[in-house]
């Protein structure tokens, strides 16, 4: 085949591919806008930007990395099922996602991939997009190029939860709900602050939080950085995070058994995002290399509970994780009925009754020694 034929065929192929892609474009989706108040709202988002809406947004899209944290916080507001028009799919479980359980209108929502682009978001015709603030230069910038307002929130630390609940309260035009939600967190934080103050540092239990990660038969243990909520939870629960001074970095840092033995903490909390945490804990306790650790000998290796999401992450459930952690560190001083706390959490935050929680969460999903 000479080069002229090759050029001709190549050009014809290109044209053919393009022509076969031609089809009448579907009409843009038209969402049904629930009735809403007509008052304009101006909120200040996590990046300190003022975002103004002529009226509370009626078609909100929640997407981007770690979107599930945003969605779980948004769905604490009853208005969310009507006003959320699209969200990304992501589950750390194999069963129905949490949002599907919460939202009776889930089937009508636009569901995006985790790495969706601005065009897919625009197709839903949102009037607001909720993103994590570190997406401001990437996806957020592209969405804002299209004239769609973006509200950035973080939800990474207790302080940010207080701020971001208020933002969500404005977004959903339900500030009282935001105050009530944060009030639940604040009450527990105050209680634990009192507990921690009453215990001198020398008597505080030394704790280590490790992520158990298995890949290709290899097991790695990772410690969280000082700035993350996992480290803060140990401090808030009245413990001393043994790794805080020596682990450097901005993300999970691999630590070997030698270092773990050098720390030899009183309590070890094992997190396992993608495998069964009970199995992970059992394997560690049975491992001869771990037998000399104080925490193993005293039975203080704890699997971090998880249901849809592990309770250690900066998802709404961190308050459950914190409560549970405090009950493990101070079983005598801080006696709490975790089972009751668990059911109360889902009722208070999401309006789920005990039977639904039992059937949809406890039975199929709950792992770790929650109670």
* Least distance to another protein, CB of residue 40, Å: 21
Phi first, then psi: what are they for 167, rounded to 5°?
A: -65, -45
* Least distance to another protein, CB of residue 140, Å: 10
Is the CB of 119 or the CB of 190 nearer to another protein?
119
* Least distance to another protein, CB of residue 110, Å: 10
Is the CB of 7 or the CB of 95 nearer to another protein?
7
Phi first, then psi: what are they for 78, rounded to 5°?
A: -60, -25
Is the CB of 16 or the CB of 257 nearer to another protein?
16
What would the 3-class secondary structure string for 15-75 be? HHHHHHCCCCCCCCCCCCCCCCCCCCEEEECCCCCEEEECCCCCCEEECCCCHHHHHHHHC
Q: Residue 208: in which H helix or E strand, if any?
A: strand 206-215
In angstroms, the CA 255 to CA 242 distance is 12
Is the CB of 143 or the CB of 168 nearer to another protein?
143
* Least distance to another protein, CB of residue 317, Å: 18
In angstroms, the CA 310 to CA 158 distance is 17
Is the CB of 111 or the CB of 285 nearer to another protein?
111
Distance of CA 116 to the CA centre of its chain: 18
Is the CB of 104 or the CB of 138 nearer to another protein?
138
* Least distance to another protein, CB of residue 15, Å: 8
In angstroms, the CA 349 to CA 177 distance is 10
Q: What is the CA radius of gyration of the chain?
A: 24
Q: Give me the residues that bind another protein (CB under 8 A), please.
A: 1, 3, 6-7, 11, 14-15, 18, 21-29, 65-66, 112-120, 122-123, 125, 132, 134, 137-139, 141-142, 145-147, 249-252
* Least distance to another protein, CB of residue 292, Å: 30
């Amino acid at each position: 085949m000479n080069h002229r034929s090759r050029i001709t065929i190549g050009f014809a192929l290109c044209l053919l591919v393009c022509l076969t892609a031609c089809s009448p474009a579907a009409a843009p989706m038209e969402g049904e806008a629930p009735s809403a108040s007509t008052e304009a709202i101006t909120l200040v988002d996590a990046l300190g930007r003022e975002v103004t809406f002529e009226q509370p947004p009626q078609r909100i899209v929640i997407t981007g990395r770690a979107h599930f944290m945003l969605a779980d916080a948004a769905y604490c507001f009853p208005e969310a099922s009507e006003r959320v028009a699209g969200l990304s799919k992501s589950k750390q479980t194999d069963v129905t996602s949490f949002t599907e359980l919460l939202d009776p209108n889930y089937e009508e929502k636009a569901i995006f991939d985790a790495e969706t682009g601005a065009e897919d978001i625009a197709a839903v015709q949102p009037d607001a997009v909720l993103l994590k603030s570190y997406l401001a230069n990437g996806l957020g910038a592209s969405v804002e190029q299209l004239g769609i307002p973006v509200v950035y929130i973080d939800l990474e630390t207790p302080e940010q939860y207080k701020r971001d609940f208020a933002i969500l309260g404005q977004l959903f035009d339900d500030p009282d709900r935001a105050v009530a939600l944060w009030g639940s967190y604040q009450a527990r934080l105050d209680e634990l602050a009192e507990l921690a103050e009453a215990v001198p540092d020398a008597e505080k239990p030394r704790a280590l939080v490790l992520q158990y990660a298995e890949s290709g038969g290899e097991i790695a243990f990772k410690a969280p950085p000082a700035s993350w909520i996992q480290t803060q939870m140990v401090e808030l629960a009245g413990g001393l995070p043994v790794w805080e001074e020596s682990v450097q970095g901005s993300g999970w840092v691999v630590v070997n058994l030698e270092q773990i033995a050098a720390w030899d903490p009183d309590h070890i909390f094992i997190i396992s995002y993608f495998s069964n945490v009970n199995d992970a804990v059992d394997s560690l306790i049975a491992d001869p290399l771990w037998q000399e650790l104080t925490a193993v000998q005293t039975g203080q290796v704890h699997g971090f509970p998880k249901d849809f999401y592990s309770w250690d992450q900066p998802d709404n459930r961190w308050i459950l994780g914190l409560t549970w952690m405090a009950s493990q560190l101070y079983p005598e001083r801080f006696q709490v009925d975790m089972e009751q706390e668990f059911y109360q959490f889902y009722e208070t935050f999401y309006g789920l009754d005990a039977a639904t929680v039992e059937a949809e969460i406890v039975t199929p999903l709950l792992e770790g020694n929650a109670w």
